[in-house]
Amino acid sequence: MTDVPPAGGPALLSRLAGLRDRVAALVDHRTATDPTADDPLRGLYLSEEAVRHLLSTATADPSGEAQAGDTPHAPHTPHDPHDPHTPHDPHDPHTPHDPLDRLAARLPLTALDTAVLLIALAPDLDRGFEPLYGYLNDDVSRRRATVGLALELCGAPVHLAAARARFHSAAPLRALGLLDVEEPERPFLSRSLRVPDRVLAHLLGDDTPDAALHGHLLPLPELLPADDEDFVARLAARLRRGPLTVHLREHREGDGLACVAAALAAAGLGALRYTGPEDRVPELLREARLGGRAIVLSGLPEQPGPLISALTAATDVTVLLSDPRPYDPHWSVRDPLVLDAPRRRAGGTAAWAAALGPDADAFDLATAVAPYRLGGERVARAAHAALGLAALEGGPLTAAHIRLAARQQSASGLERHARRIRPDVTWDDLVLPDRPLTQLRELALRARHRDRVLGDWRLSAGGGRGRGVLGLFAGESGTGKTLSAEVVAAELGLDLYVVQLSSVVDKYVGETEKNLERIFTEADRTDAVLLFDEADAVFGKRSEVKDSHDRYANMESAYLLQRLESFDGIALLTTNLRANIDEAFTRRLDLVVDFPFPDPEQRLALWRHGLSHVPCAPGIDPSPLAKEFELAGGSIRSAVVTAAYLAAARDEPVGDGDLLEGARREYRKAGRLVPGEANW
């Protein structure tokens, strides 16, 4: 961090003593050579006696004791102030280490620049300089130094082009926002000099950011252990060597910002995290220069070119950009150092443990956070929310608190294209044979350990393929495909988003692909399970091209094949007809789970499970229904609901007759012949 003392006023006041001597010398010269020195109306009006009195009144000593009558001497000046190119040497043993010296060394400023800056700010530190400057300006109403007066006080000839150039708009003092040259309508030498209030406040030890930046600065995220410490160490080492501009492309929101925060901390640099428009860049750059801090931008605006161009024009300030989009050379004529931010590992426990503190030892943290790939800032916020939930309930922190808080941080824009389901089921709600149950559990395991297997163990297929988990659930309607997807999401502690095909498929060419891209992009940056119900509508087989419709349909399939390969999330597809799914899609799937139609034994288990929370009449037995009515799980549930309504209308428990009527209605809905009824 920058080393700024709490107060710079006393040191600056001490330096004014030397300036007072130079003013006295100039007054002596004026009174000796100016024939109007005795004019009673000169300056309207400041007498020589008044000037002498002002010069005899010393600036208050930094210790707090007035040194009245003393005439302090100018400090040693090791550099020639006449030479505008002489750099200020902060290591010279004769140079006082006050805020002005530190500022001059950091930017850097020449000795002439530093002298001009001191001359310009003198009236803002000591009111005694106002009438003195008015006297020297031959106008008591002009109480600030002018260009000509500053050059005279520095002993620089006013006709010297190099000296005059220090006041041009491109010169360091003005370009860095340290000095304003006012009244452009006046002759050059008569223009007033003013030091901005923010610069003066900084020199006096006040580092409150410029008021122009109010509402546009955010703190950096809480510092948590980084996933890739080697990358952070290399970036920090480069930051210590000097200013540069870096663009970090994030794989997921927050990855780059967490990396930037860790690198800045390791490099010992402060930062200004900016969220405002480009018209505040001059104030932002000045603030960064005053404090020796870096500028951080996370999440660039839609059209970032003007903002990035303005920032990268300053080669003396470190600028760190992070955004999911790749860097576009059109954004700036000065290209930054372009890097890929390290991927946020799913299930990384170091950051979570640091954010949760001792409470993280109360449960299996690794299992609880395995599905989540939150950035450092999101981890800290989720941990804070989880601790708050536990405190509200008055009990210890649990994995359930972690999962709920993490899901809140993963809220996304997927709801514009998909229906959100908060899972409220468990493995006990599934009535399936052992084989599909085993495959579903394996699917959850793949989601938890994909970073280790595909990343650490380098088993990714390469070619830009992502680390997504893809599964296909195939089976007749009502066999439990959607319910199984909800159970998998619940096991992982994630929300389930069911894609609404009506919002995806579009009759216009290319629009379907755009809609799908929005869904996949949002799902990539969200910890959620994506479910394509009736997936054969968009993942169907490619056909021989006979007309333009076939051609465009095949283009959609080709796009989906490519997009699935680069997908990093969890996507599940369901279909009633597995044969309709293109074989190219099937090859890219991690698991294909077949949901068989339930046999009588499974149907009986489904009837009993459906009645487990329903008040039933004594001796109720769904066994005959399980044997006689060939219903899938979804239809059995609907039959139980019908029976429950019939019983509730009578205010009685559910009986065998209610169940029979429910089963018959399901047969009639399907257009099937009901056992025991005449065929009308």
Cα dihedral 644, 599, 573, 342 sign: positive
User: Please, are residues 385 and 407 in contact by the beta-carbon 8 Å criterion?
Assistant: no
Nearest Cα to Cα of residue 223 among 319, 341, 354:
354
**Integer Cα distance of 372 and 526 in angstroms:** 9
- Give residue 61's pLDDT band: very low, low, confident or very high (50, 70, 90): very low
User: Please, are residues 418 and 386 in contact by the beta-carbon 8 Å criterion?
Assistant: no
User: How confident is the model at residue 305, as a pLDDT?
Assistant: 92
Comparison of pLDDT for 227 and 60, the residue scoring more: 227
Average pLDDT over residues 313-321: 94
User: How confident is the model at residue 221, as a pLDDT?
Assistant: 87
Average pLDDT over residues 620-637: 95
- Give residue 63's pLDDT band: very low, low, confident or very high (50, 70, 90): very low
User: How confident is the model at residue 223, as a pLDDT?
Assistant: 83
Q: Which residues contact 469 (CB under 8 A, 6 or more apart)?
A: 443, 446, 447, 450, 569, 570, 571, 590
Residue 135 has pLDDT above 90, yes or no: no
**Integer Cα distance of 55 and 70 in angstroms:** 10
Comparison of pLDDT for 375 and 72, the residue scoring more: 375
Structure tokens at 544: 């021989």
User: How confident is the model at residue 253, as a pLDDT?
Assistant: 78
Residue 537 has pLDDT above 60, yes or no: yes
Q: Which residues contact 655 (CB under 8 A, 6 or more apart)?
A: 616, 617, 620, 647
Comparison of pLDDT for 8 and 467, the residue scoring more: 467
User: Please, are residues 235 and 263 in contact by the beta-carbon 8 Å criterion?
Assistant: yes
- Give residue 582's pLDDT band: very low, low, confident or very high (50, 70, 90): confident
**Integer Cα distance of 311 and 302 in angstroms:** 16
**Integer Cα distance of 394 and 657 in angstroms:** 47
Q: Which of 27-41, 90-104, 342-356, 373-387 has the highest mean pLDDT?
A: 373-387
Report the range of poorest mean pLDDT among 84-88, 468-472, 618-622: 84-88
Nearest Cα to Cα of residue 258 among 230, 288, 293, 220:
220
Comparison of pLDDT for 71 and 326, the residue scoring more: 326
User: How confident is the model at residue 59, as a pLDDT?
Assistant: 47
- Give residue 51's pLDDT band: very low, low, confident or very high (50, 70, 90): low
The torsion of the CA quartet 302, 303, 307, 308, rounded to 10 degrees, works out to 100
- Average pLDDT score over the chain: 84
Q: Which of 16-25, 281-290, 446-455 has the highest mean pLDDT?
A: 281-290
Comparison of pLDDT for 127 and 615, the residue scoring more: 615
User: How confident is the model at residue 56, as a pLDDT?
Assistant: 64
User: How confident is the model at residue 452, as a pLDDT?
Assistant: 84
384, with CB counted inside 10 A (0-12, 13-18, 19+), is: middle
User: How confident is the model at residue 32, as a pLDDT?
Assistant: 73
552, with CB counted inside 10 A (0-12, 13-18, 19+), is: middle
Report the alpha-carbon angle 513-519-520, nearest 5.
Answer: 85
- Give residue 64's pLDDT band: very low, low, confident or very high (50, 70, 90): very low
Report the range of poorest mean pLDDT among 37-41, 322-326, 564-568, 603-607: 37-41
Residue 343 has pLDDT above 60, yes or no: yes
- Give residue 95's pLDDT band: very low, low, confident or very high (50, 70, 90): very low
Average pLDDT over residues 242-254: 90
Answer yes or no: pTM beyond 0.85. no
Q: Reduced to 3 states, what is the DSSP secondary structure of residue 591?
A: strand
The DSSP annotation for 384-410 comes to: HHHHHHHHHHTS---HHHHHHHHHHHT
- Give residue 71's pLDDT band: very low, low, confident or very high (50, 70, 90): very low
422, with CB counted inside 10 A (0-12, 13-18, 19+), is: exposed
User: How confident is the model at residue 138, as a pLDDT?
Assistant: 83
**Integer Cα distance of 189 and 192 in angstroms:** 8
Residue 541 has pLDDT above 80, yes or no: no
User: Please, are residues 128 and 54 in contact by the beta-carbon 8 Å criterion?
Assistant: yes
- Give residue 58's pLDDT band: very low, low, confident or very high (50, 70, 90): very low
List % helix, strand, coil for the chain (3-state, nearest 5): 50, 10, 40
Nearest Cα to Cα of residue 563 among 545, 544, 539:
539
User: How confident is the model at residue 211, as a pLDDT?
Assistant: 93
- Give residue 62's pLDDT band: very low, low, confident or very high (50, 70, 90): very low
Cα distances (Å, whole numbers) of residue 395 to 237, 379, 391: 45, 21, 6
Centre a 10 Å sphere on the Cβ of residue 96 and count the other Cβ atoms it contains: 12
Report the alpha-carbon angle 538-539-545, nearest 5.
Answer: 90
Residue 554 has pLDDT above 80, yes or no: no
Residue 77 has pLDDT above 60, yes or no: no
User: How confident is the model at residue 66, as a pLDDT?
Assistant: 37
Residue 45 has pLDDT above 60, yes or no: no
Residue 390 has pLDDT above 90, yes or no: yes
Report the range of poorest mean pLDDT among 87-101, 227-241, 531-545, 630-644: 87-101
User: How confident is the model at residue 557, as a pLDDT?
Assistant: 72
User: How confident is the model at residue 642, as a pLDDT?
Assistant: 97
How many Cα atoms sit within 13 Å of 131 on the Cβ side? 15
